[in-house]
Copies of this chain bind each other. A is one copy, B any other.
Amino acid sequence: MGNPTIHDVARVAKTSKSTVSRFLNGYAVKKETEEALRSAIQSLNYHPNVNARRLVKNKTRVIGIVVDDIANNFYADIFRGIEKVANLHGYQCTYYSRKSNLQGEFGFMNLAQERQFDGLILISFLKLSNELISRLEELTIPVVLIGDANQNETIFSVDINNELGIREIVRYLHRIGHEKIAYISGPDEFSATYWRKKGYESELKDLGLELNPDWVISSDWSESGGHQAMKELLAIQGITAVIASNDEMAIGALLCASELGYKVPKDISIVGFDNIPVSRWVNPPLTTSKQPLLKMGETAAKGLIKQLSGEMEGLSGRQLLDPNLVVRQTCRSL
A residues near B, CB below 8 A?
A: 3, 47-52, 54-55, 60, 70-73, 76-77, 79-80, 83-84, 87-88, 92-97, 100-103, 110-111, 113-116, 140, 223, 251-252, 255, 258, 278, 280-283
Contact = CB atoms under 8 A, between A and B. Distances in A.
A84 to B, nearest CB: 7
A115 B48 CA distance: 9
A106 to B, nearest CB: 13
21 contacts: A47-B110, A48-B114, A50-B116, A51-B51, A51-B55, A52-B55, A70-B95, A71-B76, A72-B76, A83-B97, A83-B101, A87-B100, A88-B102, A92-B111, A93-B97, A94-B94, A94-B96, A223-B281, A252-B281, A278-B281, A282-B282
Contacts of A97: 79, 83, 93
A3 B140 contact: yes
A291 to B, nearest CB: 15
A50 B87 contact: no
A111 B278 CA distance: 36
Contact of A100 (B70, B80, B111, B252): B80
A3 B87 CA distance: 28
Given A49-B115, A50-B116, 10 more contacts: A49-B114, A51-B51, A51-B60, A52-B55, A72-B76, A73-B76, A83-B97, A88-B102, A92-B111, A282-B282
Contacts of A71: 76-77, 79-80
Contacts of A52: 55
Contacts of A88: 102
A278 B55 CA distance: 47
A153 to B, nearest CB: 25
